[in-house]
């Protein structure tokens, strides 16, 4: 490569990375003209610099297993009843249930029922006609994975409805979800909207409301029939504040669920109280109009997350419209409509971590990061100029190139600058200039051995090359594991370190050497200022 080509290469690289990284930052700060696409690619700031909310949630995947186990168990129970087998099924844990009391004569019928209705379970027999059903391991894995994926998708829909710009929702580990909401300051609302199960069910009331469970179950002889369940209602709104909680006996399988919703919106009810109106999709409407048509005069429970919100009397057949009344505030009604629109979560979510960074705190961090960078750069420049004199200029030019390329690379790949990332930026200066120090020291050695300026420079670069490859490789190895270990800010740091090291190899060897060659080509150099 001729010197001319090298210089052109360096200028092109510099201009490209400057335009990608540094220029958009200057443009947004000093209102310089810049094309839209360039500004859209601007280096992104992390949550710790921009301010916002960072949440870590754990998906209780056991819930998803439990649902599946309960479903198959109740189907088996139903099938046994149809076939006239007098056996009872009971839940053992989230992925096991057992069936007791299968008469030996009806073993065949039981086996057929079980194979038909519990395909996802392995069956093992015990004594006296008892059987244990365990969920197949691959199904367990599948259900858990699906639950996490679905939860992530549901959260994505909810966050999008919230209208947050550039949110980040990512799975982390086996069952955790990391949610980052830049610019959000109302943590409580965000948490409620993300974490609400949002399970809507419309189901017929069989008994109730009653003030206590005992009252409720008097008609059924104190037992809960196997296809029904007892749900509590919030305090009755009509009875005024302070009224006691009430209990309802409802069908376990609801007529309509949140899956059948087409839309939900906040509205006002006949008493001008905030409520949530909903419209069902075609499937839901068909089921709903059949159930309401057949049960005029009875009560329909509107159940949200296993709590009966209200249980109005069915006056006539309803097609696809309904309304949830409760003692909502306007904001609650809005939130609920949003949650219902985005669908139910497949399992309960557990908050593990919450971090809020106010915008002022982020701005302070940027300020001190910039200050530390400036002071770091100035002190390195002063040292290099004193110690290496004119060659120090060479090293500083290479270092500035290094930093410009680093920022440009980060913007180009869409990496995020975090506060530890700024630390990585500052350290890149201190570590980056080391490559030049090693080269210069070697050149000094060669000069002392009377090898002539040109030969010394060439030897300095070529001898140190492999040392630099080795030191950079070791540092890259730890940066790679840092990336793999960390999340959020730490990843930002690892990325900064990584790109800093890679661009340093280019600037310390190629740029710095070309600068020396430029100097040598100008005139005959007898002594090097180093």
Size of the site for other proteins (CB under 8 A): 82
Establish if 379 lies at the interface with other proteins (CB under 8 A): yes
Is the previous residue joined to 209 through a cis bond, with omega within 30 degrees of 0?
yes
Question: Minimal distance in Å, beta carbon 400 to other proteins?
Answer: 14
Establish if 521 lies at the interface with other proteins (CB under 8 A): no
What does each C-alpha distance from 57 to 157, 178, 189, 213 come to in angstroms? 16, 6, 15, 34
- Any bridge partners for residue 205, and if so which? 250
Question: Minimal distance in Å, beta carbon 370 to other proteins?
Answer: 9
Give the residue, chosen from 203, 292, 309, 365, that forms a contact with other proteins under the rule CB under 8 A: 365
Question: Minimal distance in Å, beta carbon 418 to other proteins?
Answer: 10
Give the residue, chosen from 356, 502, 505, 520, that forms a contact with other proteins under the rule CB under 8 A: 356
Establish if 430 lies at the interface with other proteins (CB under 8 A): yes
Torsions phi, psi for 106 (to 5 deg): -105, 20
Give the residue, chosen from 253, 351, 414, 521, that forms a contact with other proteins under the rule CB under 8 A: 351
**Which range, of 87-95, 141-149, 215-223, 438-446, touches other proteins by CB under 8 A?**
438-446
Identify residues 55-74 at the interface with other proteins (CB under 8 A). Answer: 56, 58
Q: Is 504:435 a contact under the CB 8 Å cutoff?
A: yes
Question: Minimal distance in Å, beta carbon 121 to other proteins?
Answer: 30
Question: Minimal distance in Å, beta carbon 327 to other proteins?
Answer: 19
In angstroms, the first-to-last Cα distance of the chain is: 26
Q: Smallest Cα–Cα separation from 284: which of 201, 391, 212?
A: 201
Establish if 364 lies at the interface with other proteins (CB under 8 A): yes
Establish if 407 lies at the interface with other proteins (CB under 8 A): no
Establish if 383 lies at the interface with other proteins (CB under 8 A): yes
What does each C-alpha distance from 388 to 391, 418, 528 come to in angstroms? 5, 33, 10
Question: Minimal distance in Å, beta carbon 154 to other proteins?
Answer: 18
Q: Is 347:61 a contact under the CB 8 Å cutoff?
A: yes
Establish if 434 lies at the interface with other proteins (CB under 8 A): yes
Establish if 188 lies at the interface with other proteins (CB under 8 A): yes
Establish if 522 lies at the interface with other proteins (CB under 8 A): no
SS (H, E, C) 394-447: HHHHHHHHHHHHHHHHHHHHCCEECHHHHHHHHHHHHHHHHHHHHHHHHHHHHH
Identify residues 439-498 at the interface with other proteins (CB under 8 A). Answer: 441, 444-446, 448-449, 451, 462-463, 466-467, 470-471, 473-482, 484-486, 489-490, 493-494, 497
Question: Minimal distance in Å, beta carbon 188 to other proteins?
Answer: 8
**Which runs of consecutive H residues, i.e. helices, occur in 218-325?**
282-294
Strand pairing category for 349-357 and 52-59: antiparallel
Q: Smallest Cα–Cα separation from 514: which of 408, 432, 396, 394?
A: 394
Establish if 173 lies at the interface with other proteins (CB under 8 A): yes
Question: Minimal distance in Å, beta carbon 402 to other proteins?
Answer: 13
Torsions phi, psi for 301 (to 5 deg): -90, 130
Task: Dig out the tokens for 94 from the structure.
Answer: 């989230």
Nearer to other proteins (CB atom), residue 365 or residue 512: 365
Q: Is 428:500 a contact under the CB 8 Å cutoff?
A: yes
Nearer to other proteins (CB atom), residue 55 or residue 205: 55
């Amino acid at each position: 490569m001729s010197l001319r080509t090298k210089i052109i290469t360096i200028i092109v690289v510099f201009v490209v990375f400057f335009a990608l990284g540094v220029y958009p930052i200057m443009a947004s700060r000093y209102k310089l003209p810049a094309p839209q696409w360039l500004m859209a690619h601007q280096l992104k700031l992390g949550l710790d610099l921009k301010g916002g909310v960072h949440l870590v949630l754990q998906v209780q995947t056991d819930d998803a297993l439990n649902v599946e186990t309960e479903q198959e168990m109740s189907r088996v129970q139903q099938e046994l009843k149809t076939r006239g087998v007098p056996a009872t099924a009971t839940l053992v844990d989230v992925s096991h249930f057992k069936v007791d009391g299968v008469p030996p004569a009806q073993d065949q019928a039981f086996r057929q029922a079980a194979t038909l209705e519990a395909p996802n379970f392995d069956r093992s027999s015990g004594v006296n006609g008892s059987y244990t059903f365990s969920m197949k391991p691959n199904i367990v894995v599948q259900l858990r994975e699906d639950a996490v994926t679905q939860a992530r998708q549901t959260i994505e829909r909810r966050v999008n409805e919230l209208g947050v710009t550039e949110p980040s929702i990512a799975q982390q580990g086996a069952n955790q979800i990391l949610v980052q909401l830049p610019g959000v300051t109302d943590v409580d609302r965000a948490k409620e909207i993300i974490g609400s199960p949002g399970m809507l069910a419309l189901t017929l009331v069989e008994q109730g409301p009653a003030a206590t469970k005992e009252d409720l179950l008097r008609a059924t002889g104190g037992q809960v029939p196997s296809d029904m369940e007892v749900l509590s209602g919030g305090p009755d709104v009509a009875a005024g504040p302070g009224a006691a909680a009430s209990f309802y006996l409802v069908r376990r399988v609801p007529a309509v669920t949140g899956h059948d919703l087409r839309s939900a919106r906040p509205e006002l009810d006949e008493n001008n109280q905030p409520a949530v109106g909903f419209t069902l999709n075609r499937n839901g409407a068909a089921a709903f109009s059949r159930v309401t048509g057949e049960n005029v005069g009875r009560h329909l429970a509107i159940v949200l997350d296993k709590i009966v919100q209200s249980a109005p009397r069915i006056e006539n057949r309803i097609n696809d419209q309904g309304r949830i009344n409760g003692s909502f505030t306007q904001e609650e009604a809005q939130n609920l409509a949003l949650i219902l629109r985005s669908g139910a979560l497949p399992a309960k979510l557990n908050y593990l971590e919450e971090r809020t960074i106010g915008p002022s705190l982020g701005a302070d961090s940027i300020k001190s990061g910039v200050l530390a960078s400036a002071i770091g750069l100035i002190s390195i420049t002063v040292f290099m100029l004193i110690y290496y004199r004119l060659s120090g200029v060479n090293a500083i030019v290479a270092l500035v190139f290094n930093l410009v390329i680093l920022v440009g690379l980060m913007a180009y790949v869409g990496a995020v600058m975090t506060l530890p990332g700024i630390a990585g930026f500052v350290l890149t200066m201190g570590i980056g200039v080391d490559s030049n120090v090693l080269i210069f020291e070697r050149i000094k050695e060669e000069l002392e051995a009377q090898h002539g300026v040109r030969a010394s420079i060439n030897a300095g670069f070529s001898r140190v090359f492999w040392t630099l490859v080795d030191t950079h490789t070791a540092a890259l190895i730890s940066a790679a594991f840092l990336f793999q270990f960390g999340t959020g800010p730490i990843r930002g740091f690892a990325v900064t370190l990584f790109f800093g090291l890679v661009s340093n190899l280019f600037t310390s060897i190629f740029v710095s050497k070309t600068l020396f060659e430029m100097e040598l080509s100008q005139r005959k150099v007898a002594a090097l200022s180093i």
